[in-house]
Amino acid sequence: MCGLRAVSLISVIFFTCGSVAAVGGNNYWYPKEQPVATTKPSFPGNGYYIYGSQPANGGLPATTYTQSHTTYTRDTNFGGQSANGGLPANGGLPANGGLPANGGLPANRGQLPYGTPTHIGQTIYRSQPNYGGQQRYNARPRQLEYKCIEANLQYDCVFYNVHIDMQSRNVHFGFENLTLNNQKNVTFKNSTMRKLPAALLASFRQVEVLNLNGLQIEEIDTNAFAYAHTIQKLSMSNNNLERIEDDTFQATTALQNLQLSSNRLTHVDLSLIPSLFHVNVSYNLLSTLAIPIAVKELHASHNRINAVRGPFNMELTILKLQHNNLTDTAWLLNYPRLIEVDLSYNELKKITYHHFFTMQRLQRLYVSNNHLVALDLYGRPIPTLKVLDLSHNHLLHVERNQPQFDRLENLYLDHNFIVTLKLSAHHTLNNLTLSHNDWDCNSLRALFRNVAHPAVHDADQYCKIDYHLEHGLCCKESDNPYLDRLLQCIALTSVVEKL
């Protein structure tokens, strides 16, 4: 109650007896009159030293301002007369109403000592020294720090709201005591990282699984993986990487699974990472594929690959190379233990058994949507092959491949120019597609004596002129089917040349 009365008394005296100190110029609020000739600081008033060598305004009259019809005069010292009409500052009461500074608390009460981490969102900024009881921060933080703030069933370290651009410097992850950064499965959420810094794995040196998908990474720091000796699975898909230098993964001696799909890569030499078992570099801009020596499964679809190289590999079993620019298959000789090969949507014109004769395990071969005009698997059939997709090509004559066809379970021949086809009564086919070809009707009748209708899983709906439906497929009656097609082709060519 006494305190409230004191404050009220101060307010009354202040607003009734005292004059407001002028702001600007040399006008000060003086606690009492000062000696005119003083050249050194006298005594402090409210925490400030008063210099009283000259009267306010140099003894000049106060400045008068006129606005409309009202005249305002600023309170000023004239001829050395003290401000406030000669009254002491605060109406003669002690500063702060007689209360000690800071309410009697120490000057630094509530302030953080220098170097204490201060959380702002999920980012930690190191505080600056404490000056005069005031906590100060530089315009730019001295160091960005990020710590794991969550764990789930899949990852024991989840970073949130990490934002690093190409100009970011002094980035730090985890604790300064590296023994506390013992997490093995690390991922990021709601984050961007234009450049992968070396600081991440320099702090987390026991990581085995690192998920960097979808962080908009454009560049990898030279030493980003210098301490990545324990990483077994690394995912960097859906980023903006254009090139990975040859020495980037030099220290990743335990890396087995590498995911780099959906970037803009034009260069990455996978053969320099001999520990790899599983690789995905699909949806990039690669023109050359270098296959590692021990990789077991490799996905490299949707690139621009026209050359495949690498050492002899006895481990590779699955190879996905659809949607590329391959023109030959001679390189397949280096991978004799393949089980599945997908070469669809390339620029192949010929398939020959010479490139497959070493394969004793191949079960599935996909070569649809190429430019095949020749198929030669009759010289030495692939004994283990079960699925052969030859659809959407330019095949005309395939009868000689009957020994290979009879061994298959699934054969796709639709959307070609095939005229005749033969299968033995002992074939093993369960699924056969034949639509959109140029069938000879006599050949179809002979074929369906050995092939049950349930095995044929497609049909034509509309036929060209001179063709009609037979067993659900368009065919043409002809005594010499190939000669008839040849003459028809010559006639069409002549018409085109005349145009």
Which CATH code is given to the segment(s) 141-255?
3.80.10.10
Rounded alpha-carbon distances, angstroms, from residue 405 to 24, 248, 383, 390, 427? 101, 47, 11, 11, 8
How high is the pLDDT of residue 483?
A: 86
pLDDT at residue 99 above 80? no
Quick one: pLDDT at residue 486? 81
Residue ranges, CATH 3.80.10.10, the chain: 141-255, 326-498
Mean pLDDT in residue range 211-231? 97
Q: Is the pLDDT of residue 245 over 80?
A: yes
pLDDT, position 490: 78
Terminal alpha carbon distance of the chain: 111
Residue 41: band (very low, low, confident or very high) from pLDDT cuts 50, 70, 90:
very low
* Among candidate residues 353, 352, 341, 274, the one with its CA nearest the CA of residue 312: 274
pLDDT at 228 exceeding the cut of 80: yes
Q: Which residue has the tokens 């991978």?
A: 335
Side-chain half-sphere CA neighbours of 487 within 13 A: 6
Would you mind telling me the total number of residues written for the chain in this entry? Answer: 499
- pLDDT of 434: 96
What confidence score (pLDDT) does residue 88 get? 54
Residue 442 parent element (H or E): helix 441-447
pLDDT at 306 over 90: yes
Two structure tokens written together for 59: 């003894």
What mean pLDDT do residues 472-479 have? 93
Which residue, chain included where needed, has tokens 């078992």?
277
- 434-439 — which CB contacts under 8 Å span 24+ positions? 434/458, 434/473, 435/459, 435/460, 435/473, 436/460, 437/413, 437/473, 438/396, 438/476, 438/485, 439/470, 439/473, 439/474, 439/475, 439/476
The helices-and-strands tally (H runs, E runs) of the chain is 5, 34
421's tokens: 């086809």
SS3 sequence, 264-322? CCCECCHHHCCCCCEEECCCCCCCEEECCCCCCEEECCCCCCCEEECCCCCCCCEEECC
**For the chain, what is the mean pLDDT?**
79
Structure confidence at residue 218 (pLDDT): 97
Q: What is the pLDDT of residue 74?
A: 43
The DSSP bridge pattern shows strands 364-366 and 374-376 to be unpaired
Report, as an integer, the average pLDDT of 301-310.
97
Torsion of CA 467, 468, 474, 479, to 10 degrees: -60
State how far the Cα of 120 lies from the Cα of 313, in Å rounded to an integer: 52
Going from the C-alpha of 129 to that of each of 110, 118, 123, 170, 176, the distances in angstroms are 14, 13, 19, 19, 20
Evaluate if residue 289 carries a pLDDT over 60. yes
Give the model's pLDDT for residue 356: 93
State the Cα–Cα distance between residues 357 and 329, nearest whole angstrom: 12
Cα angle: 372, vertex 377, 379; to 5 degrees: 135
Lowest mean pLDDT among 110-114, 207-211, 253-257: 110-114
Cβ atoms within 10 A of the Cβ of 92, count?
12
pLDDT at residue 386 is higher than 90: yes
C-alpha span between 307 and 471 (Å, rounded): 43
Average pLDDT over residues 417-423: 94
Task: Read off the pLDDT band of 8 (50, 70, 90).
Answer: very low
Q: Are 343 and 367 in contact (CB under 8 A)?
A: yes
CATH architecture of 326-498: Alpha-Beta Horseshoe (3.80)
pLDDT at 139 over 90: no
Q: What is the pLDDT of residue 499?
A: 58
In the structure, what pLDDT confidence band is assigned to residue 351 with cuts at 50, 70 and 90?
A: very high
- Give the whole-number percent of the chain exceeding pLDDT 70: 69
Using pLDDT thresholds of 50, 70 and 90, give the confidence band for residue 92: low
How does pLDDT run across 12-26, given as a tens digit for each residue?
334 444 443 333 343
pLDDT class of 149 with cuts at 50, 70, 90: confident
pLDDT at position 168: 87
- How far apart are the C-alpha atoms of 344 and 372, rounded to whole Å? 11
pLDDT of 202 higher than 60 = yes
Instruction: Using DSSP bridges, classify how beta strands 307-309 and 288-290 pair: parallel, antiparallel or unpaired.
Output: parallel
Q: Comparing 228 with 1, which gets the higher pLDDT? A: 228
Residue 497: pLDDT band with limits 50, 70, 90:
low
Whether residue 316 has pLDDT greater than 90: yes
385-405: string of b/e by CB count within 10 Å (b at 16+)? bbbbbbbbbebbebeebbebb
Question: Is the whole-model pTM more than 0.75?
Answer: no
pLDDT in tens, 150-176: 889 999 999 999 999 999 888 999 999
Please tell me the predicted confidence (pLDDT) of residue 145.
87
Residues 438-467, mean pLDDT to the nearest whole number: 89
Asked if 348 and 372 touch (Cβ cutoff 8 Å), the reply is yes
pLDDT per residue as tens digits for the range 249-287? 999 999 999 999 999 999 999 999 999 999 999 999 999
